[in-house]
Structure 1
Amino acid sequence: MKSIHLILSAFLALSTSFSTFAQTSTLTKTEPRRIEVTGFSEIEITPDELYFTISLREYFKDEKNQKDKVIISTLEKQLMQAISEAGLPKEALRVSGVGGYQQQWEKKKNPATFLESKQYELKVERADKLDGILSKVDSRGIEYASMNRMDHSKKEEFKKQVKINALKDAREKATYLLEAINEKIGPVLLIHELEDNASYPVPMYKTMRMASADMVMESAPDSNLDYQKIKLSYRMQAVFEIK
C-alpha cells in the first residue's frame, strides 16, 4: 500500500513539472517582430500593336442605273494584296463581321438590290501602315476604318519587371524605415500581390466614308505625334522580420 502511494506521489510530481514546463514554453514563445510595407512601381510603354476595323462595302459604278456592281470579293482581293505588299503576314487580317443592306431606288422601275458589307480587323505596328494599305483599295468601296484598341507585344514581360520593381521598392522602404529607429531588416515572412492596374489609352479614330460616286476618300491629316502610352502599375505588399 505504501509503494502505491509513493508511485502516485511521483506521478503527480511529474505531471506538475510537465505542466509548469509547458506553461513556461508557451510564455517564452513569442511572435517575431515584423514590419509590413507596400511597394509600388509604374511604367509607360508605347503601343506596338494597333488594331483597326476596316469595313468594305459593295457599290455600283453607275449608281443611278444600278449597273456595274463592284462585288465584295473584288474589294477583299485588293485589301489582301495591299497587305501583302506592305510586308504584313496574312494572319494580320481577319474577318470580324459580315452584313449588308438593300438599296432601293424607283420601286416601279428597279427592284431592291442587296449590297454586301464585310468588316475586318487589321493589326499593324504603326498607324502610317494603314494609310499605305487603304490607298491601294478602291476608295468607293471603303465604308469606314477606325482604330478600336492598342496593345504591346511584350506586355507580359513588362508586367513581370514592374512587379519585381514593386517588390524591391517594398524591401527598400522597410530597410530605411527600420534604419531610422536603429533596427535591421530580417528575412521576408509574407509577400502579397495586390490587384494590377493597367491603363490603356482611348483609341484615336480615323474614319473614311463612301457616300457617292463623286465623293473621294476623306481622312484626317497625318500626324507625327506619338499615341498615348499604355501605363502599367503594380503594388506588392511584403512583411519582413525585424532582427
Structure 2
Amino acid sequence: MSTFRQIIPFCMNLKSMVSIALCAITLSSMAQKSFLDVPYIEVNGYADTLVTPNEVFIKIIISEADTKDRISLEELERKMVAGLKQLGINTEKELTTSNIQSNYRYYVLKQKDVLKSKEYTLKVGDAVTATKVFMKLEELGIANTQIEKVGHSEIVAIRNSCRTRAILNAKDKAIALTKPINQNLGPALLISDYSNEGDGHVQVERTGNVRMMMAGAETAELPQIDFEKIRITLTIAVKFLLK
C-alpha cells in the first residue's frame, strides 16, 4: 500500500511534465505558423566604407647572430629601446615581447655557439612613424623586421555605423519594392547580420614594401607612403511586415 502511494505522486508529476512539454511544442508551432502566415518582404541591405589604418604592428627580431662583433642580446635590446624612444615612442606601452612563454629563444650555430634571439611586436599609429622605425632600426643594424598587420582603434564604432546604414539601405529597398503595388511596410519581424567581423586587423602580405622603398631613398626626406585602406562591408537581412 505504501509503495502504491509513492507511485501516485510520481505519475502525477510525470503527467504534468509531459503536459508542459506538449504545450511548449504547440506554442512554438503556432508561433512559427503565425510568422509564416503573415505577409512580409525580405530584403538585404549593404553598406561599406574605407578606413585608413591607425594601428600598424611591426614584428622585430633581434639576434646575436646578426652582429659581426657578437654584441649581446641585452645590448641590442638597450640600443633598440633607446632608438625607439628617440622617435617619441612609448616603449613601455607599445613594445611587447611576442613570445609569452619565454622572452628568449636559443639556437646552436656551427654546433658550438649557443646564440640568443628575441621577438617583439611594436605598435605605431601611421605609415610615417613606421618608416621612421625602419630607418632607425636599419641604422642600429637591426634588419629582421616586417609589418605583420594593420587595424583601426575605432573599428567597432565604424562597423556599427555601417550597420545603421545597411539597415536603412534595406528599408529603402523594401519601400522601393512595395510602393508601386500600394503596400506599406510594417515593423521588422527579423533582422540578421551576416557580416564576418574577425578581430578588426588586416594581415599584410607584402611586408617588405615600406623598408625597400625607404632603403632606396637617397635624401633625408621621408618617402610619401601609405598603407592600403581597410574595406569594411556589412550585410544585413531584414524581414518587414507588409500592411
Q: Kindly tell me: are residues 76 and 134 of structure 1, through their superposed partners in 2, closer, same or farther at Cα, counting changes over 3 Å?
A: farther
For the Cα contact (< 8 Å) 2:131–2:210, is it kept in 1? no
Using the TM superposition, give the Cα deviation of residue 101 of structure 1 relative to its aligned residue in structure 2, in angstroms. 3.5
Query: Structure 1: 5+ residue runs without aligned partners?
Result: 1-28, 105-110, 210-217
Correspondence for 1:219:
215
Question: Which letter does structure 1 place at the counterpart of 2:44?
Answer: T
For the Cα contact (< 8 Å) 1:79–1:137, is it kept in 2? yes
Correspondence for 2:44:
38
Correspondence for 2:88:
87
Correspondence for 2:196:
196
Classify the secondary structure of the residue corresponding to 1:200: strand
CA distance in 1, matches of 2:139, 2:210: 9
Using the TM superposition, give the Cα deviation of residue 45 of structure 1 relative to its aligned residue in structure 2, in angstroms. 0.7
Correspondence for 1:12:
none
Q: Kindly tell me: are residues 150 and 134 of structure 1, through their superposed partners in 2, closer, same or farther at Cα, counting changes over 3 Å?
A: closer
Question: Which letter does structure 2 place at the counterpart of 1:43?
Answer: T
Question: Which letter does structure 2 place at the counterpart of 1:233?
Answer: T
Classify the secondary structure of the residue corresponding to 1:47: coil
Question: Which letter does structure 2 place at the counterpart of 1:176?
Answer: A
Using the TM superposition, give the Cα deviation of residue 224 of structure 1 relative to its aligned residue in structure 2, in angstroms. 1.9
Correspondence for 1:51:
57
* 2:77 pairs with 1:71: no
Correspondence for 1:175:
175
Q: Kindly tell me: are residues 232 and 128 of structure 1, through their superposed partners in 2, closer, same or farther at Cα, counting changes over 3 Å?
A: same
Classify the secondary structure of the residue corresponding to 2:144: strand
CA distance in 1, matches of 2:129, 2:226: 14
Q: Flag as ranges the 4+ runs of structure 1 deviating above 4 A.
A: 134-141, 220-223
Q: Kindly tell me: are residues 223 and 201 of structure 1, through their superposed partners in 2, closer, same or farther at Cα, counting changes over 3 Å?
A: farther
CA distance in 2, matches of 1:138, 1:78: 12
CA distance in 2, matches of 1:77, 1:242: 69
For the Cα contact (< 8 Å) 2:98–2:119, is it kept in 1? yes
Greater percentage in helix: 2
Q: Alpha-carbon deviations, 1:30-76, whole Å to 9, x = none?
A: 94321111111111111111111111122597x5xxxx531111111
Classify the secondary structure of the residue corresponding to 1:227: coil
CA distance in 1, matches of 2:48, 2:173: 16
Classify the secondary structure of the residue corresponding to 2:83: helix
Correspondence for 1:234:
234
Q: Which moved more, 1:153-162 or 1:93-102?
A: 93-102
Q: Kindly tell me: are residues 131 and 172 of structure 1, through their superposed partners in 2, closer, same or farther at Cα, counting changes over 3 Å?
A: closer
Q: Which moved more, 1:77-86 or 1:171-180?
A: 77-86
Point out the structure with max Rg over C-alpha.
1
CA distance in 1, matches of 2:209, 2:224: 18
Using the TM superposition, give the Cα deviation of residue 175 of structure 1 relative to its aligned residue in structure 2, in angstroms. 0.9
Q: Kindly tell me: are residues 228 and 168 of structure 1, through their superposed partners in 2, closer, same or farther at Cα, counting changes over 3 Å?
A: same
For the Cα contact (< 8 Å) 1:57–1:141, is it kept in 2? no
Question: Which letter does structure 2 place at the counterpart of 1:81?
Answer: A
Classify the secondary structure of the residue corresponding to 1:174: helix
CA distance in 2, matches of 1:152, 1:92: 15
For the Cα contact (< 8 Å) 1:52–1:145, is it kept in 2? yes
Question: Which letter does structure 2 place at the counterpart of 1:47?
Answer: P
Q: Kindly tell me: are residues 40 and 94 of structure 1, through their superposed partners in 2, closer, same or farther at Cα, counting changes over 3 Å?
A: same
Total equivalences in the alignment: 196
CA distance in 1, matches of 2:37, 2:210: 68
The TM-score normalised by the length of structure 1 is: 0.69
Q: Kindly tell me: are residues 70 and 39 of structure 1, through their superposed partners in 2, closer, same or farther at Cα, counting changes over 3 Å?
A: same
